[in-house]
Structure 1
Amino acid sequence: MRKIHVIGIGAGDPDQLTLQAVKALRGTDVFFLLDKGEAKSDLTGLRREILDAHLEPGSYRVVEARDPERDRKAGGAEYSPAVGDWRSARAGIYERLIGQEVGADGTGAFLVWGDPALYDSTLAILEEVLERGAVEFEYDVIPGISSVSSLVARHRTGLNRVGRPVQITTGRRLAEGFPDGVDDVVVMLDAHQTFLRYAGEDMDIYWGAYIGTPDEILVSGPLGEVAPRIEELRAAARERKGWIMDTYLLRRHGDEG
């Protein structure tokens, strides 16, 4: 039966791949890359650099497909249906790629930023493909170093404090209010700089963009003091590159427990 690897490749640094991930790369016949357009061509380029760093150039096959557009203006009650439509469109592309490019006993792979289990849709999309029944395959998941782990490592801080919980959420959820009962909150997928709403509160921020890449930017300190700098750096980086991927940890002041 066809075999598909879902490989977590870390936040961008080729050195972040695990030995398990490298072994999976070397056992793959064809790699699938989704092209997100010229503005995000860096993302495709980084994936190819990772392959070249761990495989002999020219020894592997890559098949690219255009990623379907997603309605990013949808909000409120329209948000979940918009995401569902986008996932279904992707499932159609995955179904075609696997059916046409992977032989009956061949192996394909999707390279997933960070970790496939953290705010990534690949696993859900593959399950949808299987449910359709048009193409059969089995798949495994190789965990990767997430942007969350890379963020706190680069800032030389812990993800949680002694005996205290930590929550990972999105900018959309943070806009609804700071989570109850939690003082350490990691925020991903925040296109609207929601941290600015909390600049008047007594907390620190550990922020990073393009983590693990040569373009990496890191800022930390009291939120009220460094928020304007982050806003400025973020705007300049987005203008320069045409896209930005950032993650941050908000930490309320208090005793360590």
Structure 2
Amino acid sequence: MQHILVIGIGAGDPDHLTLQAAKALARTDVFFILDKNEERQDMIRLRRQILTEHGRPGHRVVGVPDAERDRTTPAYAAAVDDWRSRRADLVEQLIAEHLGPDETGAFLVWGDPSLYDSVIAVVDEVLARGAAAFAYEVIPGISSISALAARHRTTLTRVGRPVQVTTGRRLARGFPEDVDDVVVMLDGRAAFTEIDPEGLEIFYGAYLGTPDEILAAGPLEETAPRIRELREEARARKGWIMDSYLLRRSESGSTEH
């Protein structure tokens, strides 16, 4: 039977690769890459470097342009469903045309495949359609959230308290009232500048694990303008940005008090 691997390769540092991921890379016959636009070619180069170092001799790499997602429509959920369906079309075609009987194919996922990534859902959709039959497994990776906490030498949780992982879209509605620690991902609007900063600290990271890494931390009211300036400069220079951050209530403002 054909076999598919969904491999988490870390947040951007080649050394984030786990031993399990390295072993998975070494047993893969063909790697499928859904290419992003030209602005992210440095990420594609890094992925190919990982394959050169850890891929088995004679492995193949097949890339196709990724499906574009409508980011302007207010119908967010419908747009994501449509995007995933078109990605499933691409994945189904890649497997049919490039994966031989009893071969292993793999998709490389930045960070961890279980965290705000669509590849698992796409592979599930391909299987549900019934035209392809294969076994698949997911190899976890070091997420940007783990890398963020490590780079700031902090923890995501505090004793007896939960942490919430959310998006910039959700944060823009306001800091949650019933939690003290919130990790924010997929924030294209700098939502941390749109909420009441009183009593909040921020631990920010962009391009984590790469030579372009940006780190900043401090009281949100004082630090937010500097982070926004750093983000805008980096986006203008590179054409894209991947960032995440932890927002934390101070002990005096905690819901535990």
- Establish whether TM, by shorter chain, passes 0.5: yes
Residue 62 of structure 1: CA displacement?
Answer: 0.6
Query: Which AA in structure 2 matches 1:232?
Result: E
- Any gaps of 5 or more consecutive residues in structure 1? none
Question: 2:88 matched to 1:94?
Answer: no
Say if 2:127 and 2:133, in contact at 8 Å, map to a contact too. yes
Q: 2:247 aligns with which of 242, 247, 250?
A: 250
Task: Report Cα offsets for 1:142-199 as digits up to 9, x if no partner.
Answer: 0000000000100001111111110000011111222231010000000000000235
Query: Which AA in structure 1 matches 2:214?
Result: I
Say if 1:14 and 1:53, in contact at 8 Å, map to a contact too. no
| Superposition map of 1:1-257 within 5 A | 1-55=1-55, 59-75=58-74, 78-198=75-195, 200-254=197-251
Say if 1:202 and 1:252, in contact at 8 Å, map to a contact too. yes
- Any gaps of 5 or more consecutive residues in structure 2? none
Say if 1:4 and 1:109, in contact at 8 Å, map to a contact too. yes
TM-score (norm: length of structure 1): 0.96
Query: Which AA in structure 2 matches 1:186?
Result: V
Distance 2:54 2:68 in 1: 31
Task: Report Cα offsets for 1:33-74 as digits up to 9, x if no partner.
Answer: 111111111221121122223246x64211000001110112
Distance 1:3 1:20 in 2: 16
Distance 1:123 1:180 in 2: 32
CA RMSD of aligned residues (A): 1.3
Q: Determine helix, strand or coil for the equivalent of 1:198.
A: coil
Distance 1:151 1:199 in 2: 23
What is the aligned-residue identity percentage? Answer: 63
Distance 1:199 1:10 in 2: 33
